[in-house]
Structure 1
Amino acid sequence: MKSKQESVSSFQMASLLLTFTTGSSVIFIPGQITNAAKNGAWISILISYLLGVMILAILIYLYKRAPELSWVGFMRKTAGPWVTSLLLIPLTFVIFWQLAAIVIEIGGFFKSTMMKDTPNSIIQGLFFLTVALTARAGIEVMARMFLLLLIFMYIFVMAVLLLASPLFHGEYLLPVIPDGFKPILYGAYISYGFPYAEIALFSLLLPFTRRKESGRLTKYLHLALFINCLTLVFSILCTIMVLGPMSGHLNYSLFQLARLISIQDILERVESVIGFSLIIGVYMKAAIVLFMITTLLSDWFNIKDSRLLTYPVALIGLLLSVSMYPDEITFFVDGYTMWTLIDHTAYVMPLLIIFVVALFRRKKGGTSSPTAASSSQNGKP
């Protein structure tokens, strides 16, 4: 087992989870879910949140069985090297696709709102460079820096929602289920894929938690996920109360809501605050995903220094981001119809398979914990 080079506290790990699940979803999700579920969009979030809670519970259970092993090391010990490779191949392809998709999202935002004449390749190239420099700094640096950025992002988002309160129309929230329960389930399908199915990727990061603080990890992670749920529900309710039926037909609905804020001709152009929140949210999530990929590949192929992979992985992500989709419409149609199915298959299914195998081996009296023989495995996080 390789020694850990970095570690973070349980509180910092929870802040990374909150950053990962909220960073871009708080801007992108309200409009998409409202378009699918209308006034019942907040119910869709609650349904998908419960599924996310179950994924997180499984994740924590598996981590606590062998906290000193990396996720790849745990998979090898539990299911064997061949099954591990079969599970990791689709996961690797999809996480590369997700990295590119995250940057495509921010590129589309810039092109449609702020920098309409700037080529996407320039925007995405500069974004990937910044993300690569951050991911290469390591998880300890990211955890400290992202906590501060997360606080700023929450302050900006909440400030905009409070400033928009004079525009609220409570009657826009009724009827709660205008078209039956089927649209609500479709909204839950979308929000399950983004962001809750993605929680499974934190199997790659949990081994970085300091061992002595693992006892508080469960409480902090569940609290972070609950805060994410409240944030999304509150954002959806506020956008519906301001924009009404239009909230489901506007991309970046929080950004559009901020454009309506004007206080005595003194406080205007508040949408720039939401734009900044989106930029830092997507930046943080992309850096975390890039770090996850380098961690996965270094554990899988026994590469001692995962930082060596940062720039090559970022370059691949950049090439994918400028070549995968011909336009933004194709990206949104593909992303919000196939995203959930792809994420569930590549991220959640391997987690469930390892969970079932681990339970089966425990009941059969096999290795009650993979810890016992971990010294021969690659436990590098």
Structure 2
Amino acid sequence: MNRGAGSAAAKQDRIGSVQMAVLFLFFMTGSSIVIIPAPLTNVAGNGAWLSLLIAWAAGALLLACVLYLNRRYPGRSLFEYGREALGNAGTALLLAPFLCVMFWHVAGIVIEIGLFFKSTMLKETPTYAVNSVLLVTIALTVRAGLEVMARMASVFLGLMFGAIVLVLALVGPLYHPEYLMPVMPDGIGPILNAAYIAYGFPYAELAVFAFILADVKERDSAKIGKRLYLALAVNGLTLLVSVACSIMVLGPLSGDLKYSLYQLARLIFIREIIERIESVIGFSLIVGFYFKTSILLHILVRALGLAFRLPNERILVFPVALLCLLLSLTTYTEEAKMEEIVSIVWPLLDNLVYVAPLLLIAAVTALRGRAGRSRGRDV
């Protein structure tokens, strides 16, 4: 079975394993670098870095499952995995909620971008204006195709990581390593609670990449596993260093101040030469939000095209973007509600809607493979 359900354009839209790893790194780091340090340190305190390590280990195991299915079903997407393992009815039952949640997932990141702008740089700008401009830009990017997105990401990755390194380096004089102790003042409970939050966002979300791993060029497919794990290692190290640096600079306030990396940028002051650079840093960090949303919208459009067997899935880009825009303007736009969703609701949704179908398909595939090998030995 080939990817006949996809579009003709999508069949030509192939990228290398390095480009896929760059997209994966953007997807895993893009919004989490801005959002995740504050809720982690708010729950786990000085032990937030330990929670992050636990969540990263769970993410690494989930990535192993995604790569296993990619090896067993080369050139196919998650829908096609499901049809092969569970049949059409079972796939529809499991992946219909997947698609519904992905609409809100795209809208949720756009809401976070709007809240970030409203609370930091564009306080007088209406939310609908920010969200509309962002989603139009994102839709145009997705309409251009995966290959164009990958080339753009390769250029902008340096901008985002350069901003992160610049901030962490320039606040060096403000570090207080003693703020990292004690590691677990309230025991293991808060550490595990924070690990649950970090696992749900961003590590459980990597399950959606099962839709586009088939877009890696055939000659590069053998290398994709190593490069995705390298990207995951860079992501884990970046988040770990950011959380630790936030604690060393802000101390007990690190859990109370949203957008920790942006708050660190506001503290940079070097002899009246380098100061007030947080806006530049903020726009650099927005690049991460932008690419993560673009990747998610691309995956959503791809999934809808496969589900309905459309000959050209790109005709869905603007209608789907419009629906996501309406969701971003009519659902949770208050910061307190968004914090509750990120900490409690979103990890649960990720596990039920993204991770559970993937694990079920992997389990059925493994059992069928074992049964087939047993029959072969009996013969």
TM surpasses 0.5: yes
Deviation at 1:326, TM superposition (A): 4.8
Checking the alignment, whether the CA contact within 8 Å between 1:153 and 1:281 is kept in structure 2 is yes
Indicate which of 343, 350, 361 corresponds to 1:354. Answer: 361
Indicate which of 31, 40, 57 corresponds to 2:64. Answer: 57
2:216 aligns with: 209
1:138-173 Cα offsets, whole Å, 9 max, x none, are: 110001101111111001110110000010011111
Gaps of 5+ in 2: none
2:25 aligns with: 18
Q: TM-score, normalized by length of structure 2? A: 0.95
2:228 pairs with 1:226: no
Q: TM-score, normalized by length of structure 1? A: 0.94
Deviation at 1:196, TM superposition (A): 0.1
Indicate which of 176, 184, 194 corresponds to 1:187. Answer: 194
1:174 aligns with: 181
Deviation at 1:316, TM superposition (A): 0.5
Deviation at 1:367, TM superposition (A): 12
Pairing of 1:220-369 with structure 2 (within 5 A)? 220-365=227-372
- The range that moved more, 327-336 or 77-86, is 327-336
Checking the alignment, whether the CA contact within 8 Å between 2:163 and 2:285 is kept in structure 1 is no
1:145 aligns with: 152
Question: What SS class does the counterpart of residue 184 from structure 2 fall into?
Answer: coil
1:377 aligns with: none
d(CA) in 1 for partners of 2:374, 2:116: 50
d(CA) in 2 for partners of 1:327, 1:32: 16
1:259-298 Cα offsets, whole Å, 9 max, x none, are: 1110001100121232012211100000000000000000
Give every structure 1 segment of 4 or more consecutive aligned residues whose post-TM-superposition deviation is greater than 3 Å: none
Letter aligned with residue 229 of structure 1: G
Indicate which of 40, 47, 58 corresponds to 1:40. Answer: 47
Checking the alignment, whether the CA contact within 8 Å between 2:52 and 2:195 is kept in structure 1 is yes
Letter aligned with residue 110 of structure 2: V
Letter aligned with residue 286 of structure 1: T
Checking the alignment, whether the CA contact within 8 Å between 1:33 and 1:190 is kept in structure 2 is yes
Letter aligned with residue 135 of structure 2: F
Letter aligned with residue 294 of structure 1: V
1:133 aligns with: 140
Deviation at 1:353, TM superposition (A): 0.4
d(CA) in 1 for partners of 2:280, 2:255: 21
Checking the alignment, whether the CA contact within 8 Å between 2:28 and 2:235 is kept in structure 1 is yes
Deviation at 1:336, TM superposition (A): 1.8
- The range that moved more, 174-183 or 345-354, is 174-183
Q: Among the aligned pairs, what percent are the same residue?
A: 48
d(CA) in 2 for partners of 1:104, 1:44: 26
1:85 aligns with: 92
Letter aligned with residue 49 of structure 1: W
Q: How many residues align?
A: 368
Letter aligned with residue 269 of structure 1: R
2:15 aligns with: 8
1:76-117 Cα offsets, whole Å, 9 max, x none, are: 111100000011111011111110000000100111111111
Checking the alignment, whether the CA contact within 8 Å between 2:121 and 2:279 is kept in structure 1 is no
d(CA) in 1 for partners of 2:281, 2:339: 21
